[in-house]
Amino acid sequence: MLAGALTCALPLHAQEATEAEQLSNLRVYQALAGEIGDSVFAIVAIPDTAAVAIHVEPEGSSWYIEEGIAAAARRIGRTVAEVPRASYEGRFGVTLAGVEYFDIRRDGLFGSRIVDRSVTLILNVRVVDLTTGNVMLRQERQATYRDVLMLDDVTRVEHANLPETHGELPAEGFFSSAVEPVLVVAAVALAVFLLFTVRS
């Protein structure tokens, strides 16, 4: 079985993105599905006039992946249809859909708390020519998106009804939680000391 890996370069960097621009985990999954779809349809020779049936498994719980793949088929001018109208069928089994958060830290000494985000989608792909029964492609494809979020935005980018969009936040280290108050007190003490030194 062949395997392919992609790193999805979505046009956003979380530290620079506004709240409206920042992608939800659901939108990231859809973009990753589109990246995988693009890579699959780029190597499978499907005639311009042919219709393709797209199926994502497990059915019912992976609807958020299907539209990204269908959009990839439309981008190359293929029609997305159901069997029996379709001459080709693409089956995409979700092997892994996971969100990870790691390395909670401050953006600068007194900046907001930020966290790294990694969203990974692995699909088991099978493309079949329905007119001949020929399996044109069978492989596993992976795409990953990484960026940095404001820690306060984590709950906003997750979807309440989709467990796959949730990730576990890492515990903040004792060092960061213990040292920050000390730094604040030291900074205040230094400011007071400098104030009285300058005045005297």
Same domain for 36 and 95? yes
Are residues 25 and 39 located together in one domain of the fold?
A: yes
- Ranges of the chain whose pLDDT falls below 70: 1-21, 173-196, 198-200
Query: Residue 22: its pLDDT value, please?
Result: 79
**CA 8 to CA 178: how far, in whole Å?**
37
Shared domain check, 126 and 53: yes
- 33 and 52 both lie in a single domain: yes
Neighbours of 66 (CB within 10 A): 18
Q: Which residue is listed with tokens 């797209």?
A: 54
User: Which range marks the domain in which residue 179 is found?
Assistant: 171-200
Q: Say whether both 164 and 100 belong to one domain.
A: yes
Q: Among 109, 120, 113, which residue's Cα sits nearest to residue 149?
A: 113
Residue 101's pLDDT is 97
**18 and 108 both lie in a single domain:** yes
Identify the pLDDT of residue 62.
86
The CATH number covering residue 16 comes to: 3.40.50
Distances (CA, A) of 67 to 26, 52, 103, 134, 170: 12, 13, 32, 25, 31
The total number of structural domains that make up the chain: 2
Predicted pLDDT at 171:
87
- Looking at residue 197, its pLDDT comes to 73
- pLDDT of the residue at 169: 94
Residue 4: what pLDDT?
53
179 and 121 assigned to the same domain: no
* Overall pTM surpassing 0.85 (yes/no): no
